[in-house]
Structure 1
Amino acid sequence: MLSIAVAALHEREPGRLWPLLASALPGLCGGEALIYKLDDWSESSGTVGMSPGVAAAFDRLGDGALGLLRSGYPFADHYAGDDDRAPVTARRAAGRAWASSSTARLIADAMGMDYVLGIPLRRSATPVTGCLVYRSDTDFTDDHVRLAQRLQPLLAAVDEQRQLLERWRAAAAAPQDTPEAEALTPRETTVLLLLTDALTAAAIGRRLGISSRTVHKHIENIYRKLGTRDRISTVLRAQRLGLVATPGDLPDRAPSG
């Protein structure tokens, strides 16, 4: 789990973060494959990503199969009723109806698997976003579910990193062409972006799932690398360098997952 966190914090390309998780996460919680959803769980739309080897199986089955995956059965309905975001298996969420469902038949045909564990992002609203872990032979145990719950903060932190890096790339003038951008780590870049929102260290820590002390350490590194001594001069210098957008250039922000 630590190695995944370290790899994610050093990844500059936001589009690689969830594929990184998709490769490593199944083995951590007793699964064999993973599918993740980053937005609306509906049959007609939504971003779907898969762990290696899974995508080819669904490509052969066509758009109808992908629609069943997008619908998120039975997890979309399970989580729609309240704010509970605890991981749950498909059999516990749907009972006996799971085994006879179209989704269960689909994953059995496409992947040779019968059991699913839903791990939503803890702060996601309805529709829920998150990932589904699959396995064959036997269902996920209570220990697997508890471990999945321990992994939720990591998933939330990585997805927050993804959203902030995407916002940074959309808003900044040409960050990849500046020496200062290369000097900042991806984590320092996201802290810098949140500094432009005038968030306190405590608020930044809550957003990123880290301590205020760690936030202050990142801020110290940003000051050193940009040659500044306080927040205001840091934000102004970052704007002049094109590392962050000026107020008039800020795009609409997507809600945090």
Structure 2
Amino acid sequence: MTKSDTLEYGRVLDLVVAVLETDEPESLWNLLAEHLLDVFASRTVSITELHPADRTARAEGWAPKRIGTAISRHVELQVRQQHPLIGYLTTGGFRPVTVAGICDGWRGSACYDQAYRAFGTTQQLGLPLAAAHHTARIVVFSRRGTDFGPRPLAMAERIQPLLIGADRQQRRLRQLRDAAGAAGVDDVVHRAAEHGLTPRELAVLSLLAEGLTATAIARRLAISPHTVKRHLERIYRKLDTDNKVSAGLAARRMGLVC
């Protein structure tokens, strides 16, 4: 890895940490996308949730900022046109790939033509965040001209675990907010902050309260069991507890989990 790549990785890591430590990670997805735009020398970046069965999609982050009015329509159309990345994800593919690398007929396809008309792009790289039959989440980098080569693919593989961890925490916080109801959206995060708990620790605590082991929590949040144990040590200290059961009970009593 070159010195330049190491610096870029460090900057991506700093931004991911910012996403993990905010109570509104959605607000930082666009900032992250803006930085990734430069790292991958792209014309556009989109962080998208796909629903292949319903042929719908939703862009959650994008860059540059000006494409915001067009990106949602674009990703919806790409899903209806059965973009090659959808087939790749739903058949178990999960490594970062170039679209030209998985689709021999990419150039001249309906998806290719649509991307060129919308943004003037001809090459795409997909970095999966989550993949299932009904829902998939992916970062798509697009550029014009030369395809993404070995170096950007290697960088995509290197930062993929960081982005997956940030994405999973974002979804976990959203689940907590949905469970709290519209009126309690901000209350849970604010109550956690009053006890010194970060959004990351709140996500870990909520899974702990569901009865998950450290290994299962690590799997759910895409972090190591050792990292989970460090989070638990801090949680126990902040809640003045010394085990999983008492921490779960304290969290419910404080209204931090349902």
TM over 0.5: yes
Cα distance in 1 for partners of 2:147, 2:76 equals: 24
Q: CA deviation at 1:159?
A: 1.4
CA 1:142 to 1:70, structure 2 compared with 1: closer, same or farther past 3 Å? Answer: same
Q: CA deviation at 1:168?
A: 1.7
Match status 1:134 vs 2:142: yes
User: Relative CO higher for 1 or 2, CA cutoff 8 Å, sep ≥ 6?
Assistant: 1
Cα distance in 1 for partners of 2:235, 2:247 equals: 8
Cα distance in 1 for partners of 2:250, 2:93 equals: 43
Match status 1:151 vs 2:159: yes
Aligned residues: 238
Partner of 1:249: none
Q: CA deviation at 1:177?
A: 4.6
Equivalent AA in structure 2 for residue 74 of structure 1: P
CA 1:78 to 1:231, structure 2 compared with 1: closer, same or farther past 3 Å? Answer: closer
Structure 2 unaligned blocks of 5 or more: 1-11
Q: String of CA shifts for 1:97-153, please: whole Å, max 9, x gaps.
A: 2221222222222212211111112x5222532121111231100221122122221
Partner of 1:108: 116
Contact 1:8 1:158 in 2 (8 A): yes
Partner of 1:28: 39
CA 1:4 to 1:164, structure 2 compared with 1: closer, same or farther past 3 Å? Answer: same
Equivalent AA in structure 2 for residue 76 of structure 1: I
Structure 1 unaligned blocks of 5 or more: 246-257
Give the match's secondary structure for 1:193.
Answer: helix
Match status 1:3 vs 2:14: yes
Partner of 2:240: 227
Contact 2:84 2:99 in 1 (8 A): yes
CA 1:131 to 1:177, structure 2 compared with 1: closer, same or farther past 3 Å? Answer: closer
Cα distance in 2 for partners of 1:164, 1:99 equals: 38
Give the match's secondary structure for 2:126.
Answer: strand
Cα distance in 1 for partners of 2:232, 2:179 equals: 20
Match status 1:184 vs 2:200: no
Partner of 2:221: 208
Cα distance in 2 for partners of 1:67, 1:46 equals: 5
Q: CA deviation at 1:76?
A: 1.1
Partner of 1:12: 23
Bigger strand fraction = 2
**TM-score between both structures, scaled by the size of structure 1:** 0.82
